[in-house]
Amino acid sequence: MAIIKYRKALNQALFEEMTRDPMVLCFGAGIAERGGSYKVTEGLLEQFGSKRVFDTPLSEASFVGMAGGAAIAGVKPVVEILFVDFTLLVMDQLINQIAKYNFMTGGQGKAPMVLRTQGGVGNGLAGQHSQSLEALFYHIPGLKLVMPATPYDAKGLLKASIRDDSPVLFIENKKLYLTEGEVPDGDYIVPLGKADVKRSGSDVTIITYSYMVLECLAAAKVLEEKGISVEVIDLRTLQPLDEESILQSLDKTGRLVVVHEAPVRGGIGGDIISTVLEKAFYSLEAPVKRIGGKNTTIPFNINLEKLCIPSVEDIVDGVMEVMNS
Amino acid sequence: MELDLIKGMFETALTIRRFEEAAIDQYRQGRIYGYLHPYLGEEAIATGVISALRPDDYIVSTHRGHGHAIAKGHDIKLMLAELMGKESGYCHGRGGSMHVANLAQNNLGANGIVGGGIPLATGAGLAVKYKGGDQVVICFFGDGAINQGVFHESINLAAIYKLPVIFVVENNHYAVSTRIQDSTLIPNLSQRADGFGIPGISLDGNDAVVIHEEMVKVVARTRQVQGPTLVECKTYRHGGHHINDPGAYMPEEEMKYWKSKDPVLVLRKRLADEGVAEHELKEIEQRVEAKIEEAVAFAINSPEPSKEAFLAEISVL
Ligand SMILES: Cc1ncc(C[n+]2csc(CCOP(=O)(O)OP(=O)(O)O)c2C)c(N)n1
Ligand SMILES: [Mg+2]
């Protein structure tokens, strides 16, 4: 076991998978020589050479499409788009071409590629560098969607994503890169589609993922002092969604709060709650609650930005509301 | 060229230079945050291009957009206030450095998406043409943006519809750390114009006077026959990609060469050579200094946006 940063965990996953499988390539804007803005691809060029690790021009739509084509023809590209905001440039290739390829070819073809990116607010990065867009992709059949919160999960899930047969959108979080956590030495994977109980409790279930896992754990501590036992479930992958873990926890607690940074409207939270209402209505002992970002473009001003995403206090208040009803 | 015009260009270029230096200073003091991409070293382009325009002509800017806005005549007090996220800023602190816009002066705005403004500029050209105006639209973008699909699609649209858009590529030889030689095989980006059947020229992007003289011709032709032109201005950043990038990948020799062609000094020297007295140049410099000091004080003393007003504003979204 070693304590390493989230970004280092991702970096190790890439090193290990590239060592394991000579078909794994890495490309994207500024990922080779500079090692990526968040240093996730640092050292790969030196270790694996420019045939396997290279920089692209700023042609996102086409280099992501190129990754898809290469995947179909037998290599395993791991491409990076610096901000999830820029994945909007690649929607046709990702959704119309890559995500549907396996289905439309009647199962003949596969496009096993990984698109790494990162989202969420930073500190004053404004409207086009702060979004949480996972709900757009969650809607798309054929894409797997991974959003890890800890170094351990980041490493294990990236390795699983690279080994997976489907295209995977792997959304990191800019505020997590420097967080630290324990990661075992040597090879392991975290399977896609398995949620993780990050804290067990008996009064209320919080379902969350990515950076909000940290905020929910902090809220759970505050709530513990108020005598409320909170179970925090980290989805880790949104697609496939681990319904079983959600329903199991709810069976125990009877109370449900869903928390994400993305806006509430049209968000993952609404879908999870609908699923629960359909499948486990009678497990509920209280009204449910969605806590999420405000419905707005993220403003540049840092004090306004803070108003737009859930705080620990918002989560505590939301849980109290569910507990008191 | 008239001496007064060159004096004006010197003042503009120097204002951009000093604005960026003041912004960097304020950033280091923690009053500005987020991304900040200085225009240092590239001042001649905005200065030379925009000095060839009328006030009602449009510009579309980029993430490295302070210079464009200043050359367009924006109030540097309101610009600096925007960079500090203040209510008095052009976008009321909602946009910041990467999104400075002033519609009142036909600056449709900077952009956080590389190439994102290129179709919008094309659209502004369509609107001008449809309304029967004779304005031109300047579309600024970088050597990195020229490899986005939207560049190719937009310039072709402008070509076939004969839209009054002048595509100005600011080739500073890098897209972050990616060298121009690693993103294209052609030596002059203006060669791409051939592929769209439109004129293209490549200019010394560090000489505002040369740029101005060429742009006067391009703008006149555009007003007359409409239809786009691709103008490449070759230049260089005087630092890293953004304020927190030391630019370690930029070779010292290269930097030295380009700094010897410092666009602000090129203008100053030209004025001196034309016989403008040192004390007159000093006067211009003092005037710029005073404006910068005033802008810094204004921005610092401006209030933060109101949280209540913001929450009310977004409640209807
Ligand atoms: C679509 C998109 N891809 C990547 C980025 C990240 N990024 C911001 S500026 C920049 C470099 C742009 O280079 P260039 O167009 O040459 O402009 P310069 O910064 O040199 O002025 C990059 C890669 C972005 N903002 N948008
Ligand atoms: Mg450039």
Look up the CATH number of the domain holding residue A110.
3.40.50.970
pLDDT in tens, A211-222: 999 999 999 999
Instruction: Show the domains of chain B with their CATH numbers.
Output: 3-316 (3.40.50.970)
pLDDT > 90? residue B272: yes
- The set of residues, in sequence order, having a beta carbon less than 8 Å from that of A281 and lying 6+ positions away, is none
Do residues A46 and A67 lie in contact, with contact meaning Cβ atoms separated by under 8 Å? no
Arithmetic mean of pLDDT, A21-49: 96
Question: Do B112 and A299 lie within an 8 Å CB cutoff?
Answer: no
- Catalytic-residue membership of A129: yes
pLDDT at B59: 98
Residue A188 in any domain: the answer is no
pLDDT at A115: 98
Residue A238 in any domain: the answer is yes
- pLDDT > 90 fraction of chain A, expressed in percent and rounded: 99
| pLDDT band at residue B316 under the 50/70/90 scheme | confident
pLDDT > 90? residue A3: yes
Arithmetic mean of pLDDT, A21-43: 96
Q: Which ligand is in closest contact with the Cα of B142?
A: 1
Task: Select the more confidently predicted residue: B90 or B226.
Answer: B90
Residue A189 in any domain: the answer is no
A–B CB contacts, 8 A cutoff, strictly below: 109
* Same domain for A141 and A162: yes
* Same domain for A141 and A278: no
Neighbours of B197 (CB within 10 A): 10
* Same domain for A211 and A118: no
Q: Least CA distance to A36: which residue of chain B?
A: B177
pLDDT > 80? residue B294: yes
* Same domain for A145 and A57: yes
* Same domain for A174 and A136: yes
Do residues A123 and A86 lie in contact, with contact meaning Cβ atoms separated by under 8 Å? no
Arithmetic mean of pLDDT, A184-192: 96
pLDDT at B130: 97
Arithmetic mean of pLDDT, A171-183: 98
User: Which amino acid is residue A300, in one-letter code?
Assistant: F
- pLDDT > 70 fraction of chain B, expressed in percent and rounded: 100
- Catalytic-residue membership of A139: no
Query: Where are the strands (E) in A214-255, listed by range?
Result: 230-234, 237-239
Please state, rounded to an integer, the average pLDDT across all residues of chain A: 97
Tokens of A246: 């959600």
pLDDT at B226: 81
A12 vs A177, A211, B14, B18, B138, CA distance in Å?
13, 21, 48, 44, 46
* Same domain for A152 and A7: yes
What angle is formed at CA A315 by the lines to CA A311 and CA A320, rounded to 5 degrees? 145
Do residues B107 and B72 lie in contact, with contact meaning Cβ atoms separated by under 8 Å? yes
Residue A191 in any domain: the answer is no
| pLDDT band at residue B225 under the 50/70/90 scheme | confident
Q: Examine the fold and report which residue of A151, A183, A215 is the final residue of a domain before the chain moves on.
A: A183
Residue A21 in any domain: the answer is yes
Q: Among residues A16, A80, A129, A215, which one is catalytic?
A: A129
pLDDT in tens, A63-119: 999 999 999 999 999 999 999 999 999 999 999 999 999 999 999 999 999 999 999
Of residues A57, A126, A304, nearest to B34 (C-beta): A126
| pLDDT band at residue A153 under the 50/70/90 scheme | very high
Ligand 1, atom 11, residue with closest C-alpha: B175
Q: Examine the fold and report which residue of A148, A183, A218 is the final residue of a domain before the chain moves on.
A: A183
Residue A229 in any domain: the answer is yes
Cα–Cα distance, B266 to A60 (Å, whole number)? 37
* Same domain for A204 and A167: no
| C-alpha dihedral (B171, B172, B176, B178), degrees to nearest 10 | 70
Q: In angstroms, what is the span from residue A39 Cα to ligand 2's centroid? A: 21
pLDDT > 80? residue B1: no
DSSP string covering B131-148: TT----EEEEEETTGGGS
CATH number of domain containing A272: 3.40.50.920
| Confidence (pTM) | 0.97
Residue A254 in any domain: the answer is yes
Q: Among residues A17, A60, A231, A305, which one is catalytic?
A: A60
Ligand 1, atom 12, residue with closest C-alpha: B175
- The set of residues, in sequence order, having a beta carbon less than 8 Å from that of A79 and lying 6+ positions away, is A26, A27, A28, A63, A64, A67, A113, A114, A115, A116
* Same domain for A201 and A178: no
Half-sphere exposure of B308 (CA within 13 A, CB side): 0
The structure tokens 């009142």 sit at B104
* Same domain for A133 and A8: yes
* Same domain for A131 and A38: yes
| pLDDT band at residue A174 under the 50/70/90 scheme | very high
Q: In angstroms, what is the span from residue B254 Cα to ligand 2's centroid? A: 15
Domains in chain A, number: 2
* Same domain for A243 and A155: no
Question: Domain containing A241: what range?
Answer: 196-323
* Same domain for A293 and A203: yes
Q: Examine the fold and report which residue of A183, A209, A244 is the final residue of a domain before the chain moves on.
A: A183
Residue A313 in any domain: the answer is yes
pLDDT in tens, B152-171: 999 999 999 999 999 999 99
